[in-house]
Amino acid sequence: PAVIHRSDYRPPAWMVPDVSLDFDLDPDATRVRAKLDVRRGSAAGEPLRLDGAGQTLLSVHVDGVAVNDWTLDNDALVIPLSGEAHTVETEVEIAPEANSQLMGLYASSGILCTQCEAEGFRRITYFPDRPDVLARYRVRMTADKARFPILLANGDPVDGGDLDDGRHWAEWHDPYPKPSYLFALVAGDLAVNRGSFTTMSGREVVLGIWVREGDLARTDHALHALKLSMAWDEQVYGREYDLDVFNIVAVDDFNFGAMENKGLNIFNSRYILADPDTATDIDYDNVAGVVAHEYFHNWSGNRITCRDWFQLSLKEGFTVYRDQGFSADQGSAAVKRIEDVRSLRASQFPEDGGPLAHPVRPESFIEISNFYTATIYNKGAELIRMMATILGPQRFRAATDLYFERFDGTAATCEDFVACMEDAGGVDLSQFRLWYSQAGTPRVAATLDHQAGGGRATLRLSQQVPATPGQPEKHAMVLPLKIRLFGAETGRPLTDEQLVLLDQPAETLVFEAISERPVLSINRGFSAPVVIESDRSPADLAFLSGHDDDPFARYEAMQQLMLDTLVAGAIEGQADHRAVIGAVGATLSDPSLDPAFVAEAVLLPAEGFIADQLATVDPEAVFTAREALRRDLGAQLEGQWREAYDGPRAPYAYTPRDKGLRRLRNVALGYLAATGAEDAAKLAFTQFAAADNMTDRQGALQVLSNTDFDERVAAFDIFFHRYADNPLVLDKWFQTQALSSRADTADVVVELAQHRAFSLTNPNRARALVGAFGVNQRAFNRADGVGYRFLADQLIALDRINPQTSAKLLPPLGRWRRFDPARSALMRGELERIVATPGLSKDLFEQASKSLE
């Protein structure tokens, strides 16, 4: 397949200021008539080239006259045009019901909907399907009124009516020029939860969350989150919504979380529907976070879009940074930062250290869908955060104001964004730009020496950026590190917090008048997305976990202490657990701490993250070391876990405090179960059965899922029957089993793939079983290779249905270099089998072939 290079970017040869689309909607055969006003752009003499894929072309007219001198070149329609401006009309037929890829126009449980990012619009009609061609859209839809009573598109509704034959029509106009990837329409039998929002300039916006009638009762949280997001973007970024209506539609079959189409967001129902009986606190948080993310795109993505797909992080990194800020402001900012860093380490760090590593602004790709990655999104957000840290809040706000003003209505680049940061921030970010072009997670070594009696402390810092595919040599980067020193004896701070910009391979910092032995607190707030290697002792880490005034640094010290202990346990088969037990005990008994923070702080690092620290991963050794520490913590601190478990309880409410208490109780239950305490199974089962909310019910199910208790089987059975007709909850049933740490999980998962409720056609279901299994380190890496074979079989089967989703699930197989020779050979064998599969999509080919390199 062809490789697309960033350096090959050329401005569009033809622009399309206006387009009219006329849809005659039918699930089996939809007719699309498109009328494009085209104007010559950059290059003189070039024919008009319209991207297309998978549709049947019925006719082409130029300036009202049928023509046949067009050609098809690799699915693109090429029309020779002589003048500077023309009207081009095409008519095509497409088949939404047969569209299992879920790109373009497709059917989901009887609803017709679209997904056009990144290159889905070309599956609907012929068009220059690239983000720098901005057009005003007029859309007319005609459909059977009984089956599709609701017809929605981008922008504002302008007209509609009934036809004689049981069909009806509606017309929508979007006055804002937009790229084709933001086009959307929906037709279906939908009910609406209506709301309204008055903008800061006093305009009334009509809000609608559209779902199936039976789901309406589960949309209040999403609507509330939408209103909060609209207000937050006004207060924090001065950004006001610009149309008279804002609609969101939820569908069950969706390749991603949601899509920010102008004025008509389309969501995976998983990120809209929530009520206490079916959604956990994490689900509630995710709904609010994704609603906010898509809403924020209206400015960071839609009003200012990307010039080309290499600039994807321009909109995604910035918008993730914005949604993280929104969520932090809704509850505990410290806990939100911990969650975000945990997810960065779980997904982006391994990506950056593996065969699919790529810069935040990639240089090339085969299939752009493969680049909707943790690097583009989450590392991209960290880049924005670092610039915000360097500039400080006022100058950062001035810089974003400048960006919105300078580039409104255009397709911009990452470079444009950074230039605004420089111009309004008064800083030179020349070297900082390396963050956009160099892949890999920098490693910082830090050693702190103190001259006893002399009062002088010397901090030596050095950085190293590892080699990544295609980038063997790296330059030193700008690493903004927040640093503070604390006194080991008195516990008091010895310095203020300082922002150190480490921009050399090595630097030395000197602190004078340090009267007692200092302890180093570094990368506070996770100010740079790097790995810190310091020589802090277990005692110093335990001290920081109890005394640091930065909550993230406190959490981080505990994590480092746990990690060092677990790595020692995995390598040596045993470790001294005393420092961890002491630190966890102290955290549990500190009454000044927020329960939500305590719950995060006492959690052990994930198996995958422990494995990332080892030269060669031994999954059983990691599992055994982690279980040993869990058991010890459970047993030694049993009284405190019971106290936390029996702590304050009240009927369910979704408030930050109640969420924190629920989380801590579930963590405590896990530790009690780890000890094998006699009553643990009963406690878990009683919680499962008596729960008045899904957080408690699933929390108990999760705890049981890792055990041999008889209650485990009963609980899964009850859960399945209780929620048999709720697909989102059934996903939890599959996922919880796929994540179990039991020795038989791989066999159970292979069997579950044959379950009548399992299907690869629904991406949520595929991710719940196959995706979750791939990140279950112990089960997936079973020494006989059954996990590898299973994943490869599923990917090959899914590739024929939905290549995008299949390709997204491949990365666990690409970790082969990290394992022993026997496992490596088995994984490589499966990758080779995938690459050799006839008719493979370019999506899966790119992921599998790069993983072999």
Please list the active-site residues: 294
Q: Which stretch binds ligand HT7 (CB under 6 A): 10-18, 169-177, 292-300, 647-655?
A: 292-300
The residue of the chain with the least Cβ separation from ligand HT7 equals: 256
Q: 248 or 528, CB closer to Zn ion?
A: 248
Q: Which of the choices ligand HT7, Zn ion, none does residue 259 contact, using the CB cut-off of 5 to 8 A by kind?
A: ligand HT7
Q: Which stretch binds Zn ion (CB under 5 A): 9-17, 315-323, 361-369, 571-579?
A: 315-323
* Contact call for residues 660 and 281 (beta carbons, < 8 A): no
The span from the CA of 533 to the CA of 464, in Å, is 11
Q: Tell me the one-letter amino acid at 727.
A: P
The number of CA neighbours under 13 Å toward the Cβ of 363 is 10
Shortest spacing between CB 312 and Zn ion, in angstroms: 9
Taking CB under 6 A as the rule, does residue 260 contact ligand HT7? yes
Alpha carbon 82 to chain centroid, angstroms: 46
Rg (CA), the chain: 28
Residues 231-242 as b or e (16 or more Cβ within 10 Å = b): ebbbeebebebb
Taking CB under 6 A as the rule, does residue 253 contact ligand HT7? no
Largest Cα–Cα distance of the chain, in whole Å?
95
Q: Which of the choices ligand HT7, Zn ion, none does residue 225 contact, using the CB cut-off of 5 to 8 A by kind?
A: none
Residue positions counted in the chain: 853
Q: 266 or 603, CB closer to ligand HT7?
A: 266
Choosing from 101, 247, 369, 693, the residue that interacts with ligand HT7 (CB under 6 A) is 369
Q: Which stretch binds ligand HT7 (CB under 6 A): 289-297, 328-336, 469-477, 788-796?
A: 289-297
Q: Which stretch binds Zn ion (CB under 5 A): 175-183, 316-324, 637-645, 676-684?
A: 316-324
Omega before 118 within 30 of 0, i.e. cis: yes
Which residues does 174 contact at the CB level (< 8 Å), separation at least 6?
136, 137, 139, 153, 154, 155, 156, 243, 262, 263
Q: 369 or 587, CB closer to Zn ion?
A: 369
Choosing from 148, 197, 256, 310, the residue that interacts with ligand HT7 (CB under 6 A) is 256
Q: Which stretch binds Zn ion (CB under 5 A): 74-82, 313-321, 432-440, 537-545?
A: 313-321
The span from the CA of 363 to the CA of 581, in Å, is 47
| Stretch 19-78 residues interacting with ligand HT7 (CB under 6 A) | none
Q: 30 or 255, CB closer to Zn ion?
A: 255
Shortest spacing between CB 243 and ligand HT7, in angstroms: 18
Taking CB under 6 A as the rule, does residue 225 contact ligand HT7? no
Choosing from 40, 293, 361, 484, the residue that interacts with ligand HT7 (CB under 6 A) is 293
* 478: helix, strand or coil: coil
Q: Which stretch binds ligand HT7 (CB under 6 A): 256-264, 431-439, 720-728, 738-746?
A: 256-264
Size of the site for Zn ion (CB under 5 A): 2
Q: 380 or 551, CB closer to Zn ion?
A: 380
* Contact call for residues 696 and 687 (beta carbons, < 8 A): yes
Taking CB under 6 A as the rule, does residue 115 contact ligand HT7? yes
Beta strand pairing status for 264-268 and 245-251? parallel
Residue 728: exposure state from Cβ atoms within 10 A (0-12, 13-18, ≥19): buried
Taking CB under 6 A as the rule, does residue 767 contact ligand HT7? no
Q: Which stretch binds ligand HT7 (CB under 6 A): 35-43, 258-266, 510-518, 726-734?
A: 258-266
Phi, psi of 249 (to 5 degrees): -120, 135
| Stretch 771-810 residues interacting with ligand HT7 (CB under 6 A) | 804
Shortest spacing between CB 259 and ligand HT7, in angstroms: 4
Q: Which of the choices ligand HT7, Zn ion, none does residue 345 contact, using the CB cut-off of 5 to 8 A by kind?
A: none
* Contact call for residues 438 and 465 (beta carbons, < 8 A): yes
* 72: helix, strand or coil: strand
Taking CB under 6 A as the rule, does residue 233 contact ligand HT7? no
| Sign of the dihedral defined by the CA atoms of residues 601, 607, 610, 613, in that order | negative
Shortest spacing between CB 481 and Zn ion, in angstroms: 28
Q: Tell me the one-letter amino acid at 614.
A: L
Q: 81 or 291, CB closer to Zn ion?
A: 291
User: What's the helix, strand, coil split of the chain in %, to 5?
Assistant: 45, 20, 35
Q: For 610-627, give the secondary structure using H, E and C.
A: HHHCCCCECHHHHHHHHH
Q: 103 or 485, CB closer to ligand HT7?
A: 103
Taking CB under 6 A as the rule, does residue 255 contact ligand HT7? yes
Taking CB under 6 A as the rule, does residue 309 contact ligand HT7? no
* 536: helix, strand or coil: coil
Shortest spacing between CB 316 and Zn ion, in angstroms: 5
* Contact call for residues 378 and 362 (beta carbons, < 8 A): no
Tokens standing for residue 149: 């009573």
Taking CB under 6 A as the rule, does residue 372 contact ligand HT7? yes
* 46: helix, strand or coil: coil
Taking CB under 6 A as the rule, does residue 294 contact ligand HT7? yes
Tokens standing for residue 821: 């020779």
Choosing from 117, 171, 607, 632, the residue that interacts with ligand HT7 (CB under 6 A) is 117
Q: 260 or 658, CB closer to ligand HT7?
A: 260
Tokens standing for residue 302: 């839609």
Q: 259 or 274, CB closer to ligand HT7?
A: 259
Name which of 35, 15, 13 is nearest 134 in CA terms.
Answer: 15
Residue 333: exposure state from Cβ atoms within 10 A (0-12, 13-18, ≥19): middle
**Residues forming the site for Zn ion (CB under 5 A):** 316, 319
**Residues forming the site for ligand HT7 (CB under 6 A):** 115, 117-118, 255-256, 258-260, 293-294, 297, 316, 369, 372, 804
